[in-house]
Structure 1
Amino acid sequence: MLTPEAYFGQLYKGARELKAAEKRGVVPDSIDFSVQEVCAACKNNITPPTKPKRCAACKSVLYCSLDCAKRDWATPPAAGAKPHRDLCADNKRHMQRLDDTVAIAKQFPWGRLEKDGSLNLDIARARFDVLGSDGYGFWSHRGGPVPHAQAGDLGKMFAANTPYAKAMAALIAAFDHLDGKDLLQSTHLTDAQGWKLPPTLIPYREFASPSKRPALITEFDGGVVDWDSWYRWRKLPKESPAALLMDFPMSVHEILVRCLQVTNRKAGSASKRVSLTVHYLGAEVELNFIPLFSELALLLPYHDIKLVMFGENVRKLGEEAKKKPSSLVAKSSPSTPVFTYKAPDECGSGAISVFLCTSKALWEPNMSDFPTPDALVACNAGLGSYREWIPVVQAAHRLEIPFGVTEYAEQSAEHQVANFPLMLSYGGIRPKSRDEYEIGLNPFQKPGQRAIPQYRLPNVSNGFTIVVVKRTAVAAAAPKSVDDVASRVAALDLDLD
Structure 2
Amino acid sequence: MRAEQQLMFYCPLCCAVLYCSVECQRENTQGSTCQSHGFWCSKFLTYMKDTSTLSDFPFEFSQETSSADFDATRYRSFLKEKGVLGEGCWLREGLTSSDKVQSHRYGRYLDLENPYVLPVESCVLDEPISVDCQSSIVDWASYYKCRELDLSSPVAILLQWPLTVFFIIQNVLNGTEPGNEVNIDIVGVEKEVELVPVFKELGNLLPESKIDIHMFGRHLHPQVKEKTWSFGSVVVSVHNELYHKNVCAPQAQTPHLVIGFNAGIAAYSSWIPTIKKLKSMKVPTYFTDYCKSSIELSRLMLKDHCDVMTSDPILNPFRSPIRMTSSDHDLPWFSNAYILGLEYT
TM over 0.5: yes
Q: Is the 8 A contact 1:181 1:317 kept in 2?
A: yes
Q: Does 1:295 align with 2:248?
A: no
Structure 2 partner of 1:376: 258
Secondary structure at the residue paired with 2:222?
Answer: helix
Q: Secondary structure, in 3 states, of the residue corresponding to 2:52?
A: helix
Displacement of 1:54 after TM fit? 2.4
On the 8 A contact 1:49/1:63 being kept in 2, the answer is no
Give me the whole-angstrom Cα distance separating, in 2, the residues matched to 1:53 and 1:284: 35
Partners in 2 of 1:99 and 1:110 — Cα distance? Answer: 12
Matches within 5 A, 1:316-331: 316-318=222-224
Inter-partner Cα distance in structure 1 for 2:60 and 2:314: 22
The answer (yes or no) to whether the contact 1:203–1:236 under 8 Å persists in 2 is no
1:262 paired to 2:177: no
- The percent identity for this pair of structures is 22
- For residues 245-290 of structure 1, give each alpha carbon's deviation from its aligned partner in whole angstroms, at most 9, with x where no partner exists: 11111122223333xx2241xx323xxx111111111222122221
2:126 maps to which of 206, 209, 212:
206
Q: Secondary structure at the match of 1:57?
A: coil
How far is the alpha carbon of 1:368 from its aligned partner? 3.2
For 1:49 and 1:101, locate their aligned partners in 2 and report how far apart those are by CA, in whole Å. Answer: 24
2:136, 2:279 → 1: CA distance?
A: 31
The Cα shift of 1:462 comes to 1.3
TM-score (norm 1): 0.62
Return the offset for 1:52: 3.9
Residue 453 in structure 1 maps to residue 344 in structure 2: no
Could you say which residue in structure 2 is the equivalent of 1:91?
44
Amino acid at match of 1:141: R
1:389 and 2:271 are equivalent in the alignment:
yes
The answer on whether the counterparts of 1:306 and 1:352 sit within 8 Å (CA) in structure 2 is yes
What letter matches 1:108 in structure 2?
Answer: E
1:279 alignment partner, one of 185, 202, 209 = 185
Q: 1:140 aligned to 84, 91, 94, which one?
A: 91
Stretches of structure 2 that go unaligned for 5 or more consecutive residues are: none
Report deviation, 1:64: 4.0
- Corresponding residue for 2:117? 196
Larger Rg: 1
In structure 2, C-alpha distance between the alignment counterparts of 1:52 and 1:402, rounded to whole Å = 44
Secondary structure (helix, strand or coil) at the match of 1:390 reads helix
Q: 1:115 to 1:422 in 2, by over 3 A?
A: closer
Q: Which residue of 2 aligns with 1:463?
A: 337
- Give the secondary-structure state (helix, strand or coil) at the position aligned to 1:93: helix
Q: CA deviation at 1:113?
A: 4.7
Alpha-carbon offset, residue 222 of structure 1 = 6.1
| Letter aligned with residue 314 of structure 2 | G
For residue 194 of structure 2, what is the amino acid of its counterpart?
N
Report the 3-state secondary structure (helix = DSSP H, G, I; strand = E; otherwise coil) of the residue aligned with 2:322.
Answer: coil
Task: Determine if contact 2:193/2:238 at 8 Å carries over to the other structure.
Answer: no
Q: Which residue number corresponds to residue 28 of structure 1?
A: none
The CA deviation at 1:221 is 7.7
* Correspondent of 1:311 among 207, 217, 232: 217
| Farther off after superposition, 308-317 or 371-380 | 308-317
- 1:238 and 2:191 equivalent? no
1:401 aligns with 2:283: yes
Task: Tell me the distance in 2 between the aligned counterparts of 1:142 and 1:109.
Answer: 16
Q: In structure 2, what is the equivalent of residue 112 of structure 1? A: 64
Q: Which blocks of at least 5 consecutive residues in structure 1 are unaligned?
A: 1-34, 37-44, 147-170, 208-212, 320-328, 342-350, 425-429, 475-497
Taking the aligned partners of 1:202 and 1:378, their CA distance within structure 2 comes to: 27
Deviations 1:68-99 (A, max 9, x none): 444433368xxx65332221111111112110
1:85-121 residue CA offsets vs partner (Å, 9 max, x unmatched): 22111111111211012223x7333651587443643
SS in 2 for 1:384: helix
- Could you tell me whether the CA contact under 8 Å between 1:440 and 1:465 is conserved in 2? yes
Partner Cα distance (2:24, 2:123) in 1: 49
Q: Which residue of 1 aligns with 2:82?
A: 128
Asked whether the 8 Å contact 2:66–2:321 carries over to 1, the reply is no
Distance in structure 2 (CA, Å) of the matches to 1:312 and 1:68: 37
Distance in 1, matches of 2:88 and 2:122, equals 13
- 1:437-496: per-residue Cα shift (whole Å, max 9, x none)? 321222211112211122111211112212124xx5x3xxxxxxxxxxxxxxxxxxxxxx
The alignment of Structure 1 onto Structure 2 pairs a total of residues equal to 342
Amino acid at match of 2:64: R
CA–CA separation in structure 2 for the residues paired with 1:318 and 1:202? 23
TM-aligned CA deviation for residue 361 of structure 1: 4.5
Q: 3-state DSSP class of the match of 2:325?
A: coil
Root-mean-square deviation over aligned CA pairs: 2.9
Name whichever structure is richer in strand by fraction.
2
Taking the aligned partners of 1:114 and 1:417, their CA distance within structure 2 comes to 27
Deviation of the 1:389 alpha carbon: 0.9
Q: Given residue 206 of structure 2, which amino acid in structure 1 is its aligned partner?
A: L
Contact 1:137 1:288 in 2 (8 A): no
Amino acid at match of 1:250: L
TM-fit CA distance, 1:178: 4.3
Residue number among 304, 308, 320 corresponding to 1:431 in the alignment: 308
User: Is contact 1:366–1:372 with CA below 8 Å preserved after alignment?
Assistant: no
